[in-house]
Chain A
Amino acid sequence: MEPKLASLREALAAHVRDGDRIVLGACLEPHIPFAATYELIRQGRRDLEVIAPISDASTDILVGAGCVRRVTGAWVGNVSGGLGHNYRRAFEEGIPHRIEVRDHSNFSLGMALMAGAYGMPFAPVRSLLGSDILRSNPELRVIENPLADEPDPVVLVPPLCPDVAVIPVQRADPYGNAHHWGNQGVVQEAALAARKVILLAEEIVEPEVIGADPNRVLFPGFVVTAVVHEPAAVHPSPMTGVWRRDTAFFQDYHARSRTREGFEAWLEEWVLSVPDHAAYRAKLGPRLEALRIRRRVLSPPVNYAGD
């Protein structure tokens, strides 16, 4: 295997095109790759289709920066703050421009990615029956279950294959084998469905570390395109066992993004005037260190011995 290490700037410049369908946050509220969100804005990506069940304020920031053509997702806002102000402005007033929304629920989106990952022509679900999501997302279809004797409507969810999935992990080796622990959201489905996977690793380790615990691997290294060593890539979202959530940062973003001018000043301060994520970490300074989880609750070893 070839080592796949790259800087965040190199990885996104090489592997994300304008117009791509991209997953930035597949774990719901934790493990959101805000560092990649910011770097895509610095690189001036346009017309992205952002695919996410929930990605906290990440999608709202990208929409406000004018990078987004379409959102395929279940929820866009600021989890602890409420509504996403940029998302609202884009939808209600066309500021900075209009966007298209493909409504999903978390289950229908997860099943769409699963269908994409496993080559299924569709995923059948019972959820969403009776809901207006079936009307506002024209890609969803309802048919009668052909295997049932009684009337039994079923929702068919079409497969979804993102161009790129950016997945933060606690540790990876240089070849793209990685450990991810804590709740998983739709990380596994998104990585297996995507054409390219970019890992943002908190720590780079020897392959033996990953091989020592294969059950903690959610997807194998052969589906991974690039490995980026970028500590705190998830700030302000949390990472299990590593970083607490910076709730004050979300609150500040929420208050300042209430107006377009406030958002533009926020974007200048935290994204455009900051050259890269190392500078962002330095700018956070002691505030970031205060979020580091220092207590350790380790799991006992498991034995994988073969003879």
Chain B
Amino acid sequence: MAYSTQELMIIAAAREIADREVVFVGMRLPIMAFGVARATHAPDAVGLFECGLVRHTPASGMLYTMGDPPNQEGAAWATGTVQLLGLLQGGRVDVGFIGGAEVDRFGNVNTSYIGDPRRPKVKLPGSGGAADIAAMAHRLLVIINHERRRLVERVDYVTSVGHLDGGASRRRAGLRRGGTAAVITDKAILRPWGPERELHLASWHPGTTPDEVRDATGWDLRLHPEARPTPPPTEAELAALRRLDPEGFWR
């Protein structure tokens, strides 16, 4: 079965979610990845959506946004944003799952300003709930396209905190848990390694090589000691993704 690199990325991201985990699901591609996880290996994962929805059954139709009517029908809880982000702050969420425009070698994410925040080259949409999810989930997953301009040595603006300056700097900032556990791209999966918590190349997708991934990365990307190729998507995974997005809107 042929597949696109975007499909491969969404499926690789879906595999990061374990069954029965409570997942705070960010907008756009994370919605698709979460849907694939639940349709394949994680049927009992619970989804929290910052608009105020909790689901433990699949949505009844295609989602363009988390607040679309198919996500409301049969929801486990329809409540407010403060209630769900409050539970996140209370430590009730295993995994946070967000997208981003830029990510750096310590897994910090920028979705606010490219360039000087006072006179930016590009004004991006901003945090939404991503800053909250990054600060307060037990584990953070980030999904992003792999380009040199996106995977940078240091983000221009930290919207969503990863491991800050590495080492124990996140704890020193007052965050008691969490941090970026994986960055899933259309070429590879990067994971923090060692006491410095710098992102290392943990797996490269079919059709790429470690050298190609390093060339597309804006810092000197080192190999994780357990680095290996990413298994290709299975037919079940691809079928699940195409059921969720029959028109290919998010591909």
Q: Which one of A84-92, A159-167, A200-208 is at the B interface?
A: A84-92
B-side interface mostly: loop
- Decide if A77 touches B125 in the complex (CB within 8 Å): yes
What is the CA–CA distance of A91 and B117 in the complex, to the nearest angstrom? Answer: 10
Instruction: Report yes or no: B173 in contact with A106, Cβ–Cβ below 8 A.
Output: no
Q: Does B69 contact A (CB under 8 A)?
A: yes
B64 surroundings in chain A (CB, below 8 A): 79-80, 245, 247
**Which A residues are closer than 8 A to B by beta carbons?**
27-31, 53-54, 56, 73-77, 79-80, 82-84, 87-88, 91-92, 103-108, 110-111, 114, 125-133, 135-136, 142, 151-154, 181-189, 238, 240-241, 244-245, 247, 293, 297
Interface string of B70-85 (1 = CB under 8 A from A): 0011110011111001
- Given A29-B51, A189-B82, the answer on whether A126 and B126 have CB atoms closer than 8 Å is no
Question: Nearest chain-A residue to B54 (Cβ)?
Answer: A183
A182–B81 touching, CB < 8 Å: no
Q: A75-B125, A131-B131 are contacts. A111–B174 as well, Cβ < 8 Å? A: no
A84, A103, A114, A130: which contacts B173 (Cβ < 8 A)? A130
Identify which of A80, A111, A129, A244 contacts B175 (C-beta below 8 A).
Answer: A129
Partner of B161, one of A103, A130, A186: A130
Can you sample 26 A-B contacts with CB below 8 Å? A30-B68, A73-B126, A74-B127, A79-B64, A80-B249, A103-B127, A105-B128, A105-B130, A106-B81, A106-B128, A107-B86, A107-B89, A107-B131, A108-B131, A114-B82, A130-B169, A131-B131, A132-B112, A133-B131, A136-B112, A151-B174, A183-B72, A184-B52, A185-B51, A185-B80, A293-B69
Q: Is the CB of B68 within 8 A of A131?
A: no
Most buried by B among A31, A245, A293: A245
A-B contact count (CB 8 A): 201
The segment out of B152-160, B202-210, B225-233, B235-243 that lies at the interface is B152-160
**Contact: A76 with B126, CB < 8 Å?**
yes
Task: List the B residue with the shortest CB-CB distance to A182.
Answer: B72
Q: What is the CB-to-nearest-CB distance from B110 to chain A, in angstroms, rounded to a whole number?
A: 8
Give the A-binding residues of B (Cβ under 8 A). 27, 49-53, 64-69, 72-75, 78-82, 85-86, 88-89, 112-113, 117, 120-132, 135-136, 157-161, 164, 169-170, 173-176, 249
Inter-chain CA distance A53–B52, complex, in Å, is 12
Distance in angstroms between the alpha carbons of A79 and B27 in the assembled complex: 8
* A92-B123, A129-B173 known; A28-B67 Cβ under 8 A: yes
Which 10 residue pairs are nearest across A and B when measured between Cβ atoms?
Answer: A77-B125, A130-B173, A183-B52, A153-B174, A29-B67, A29-B65, A91-B123, A28-B51, A30-B67, A75-B128
Q: Name the residue in A129, A130, A245 with the highest tally of chain B Cβ atoms < 10 Å from its Cβ.
A: A130
Question: Contacts A128-B135, A130-B173, A183-B72; is A238 near B164 (CB within 8 Å)?
Answer: no
Question: Known contacts being A103-B112, A182-B72, A238-B67, is A131 close to B159, with CB within 8 Å?
Answer: yes
The distance in angstroms between the C-alpha atoms of A181 and B75, with both chains bound, is: 12
**B126 contacts A103, C-beta separation under 8 Å:** yes
Query: Which B residues are in CB contact (< 8 Å) with A82?
Result: 125
The answer to whether B81 touches A91 (Cβ under 8 A) is no
A residues within 8 A CB of B117? 132, 135-136
Task: Name the residue of chain A whose CB is nearest to the CB of B60.
Answer: A297
Which residue of the partner chain A has the closest CB to B110? Answer: A132
Q: Which residue of the partner chain A has the closest CB to B118?
A: A136
* A residues near B66, Cβ cutoff 8 Å: 28-29
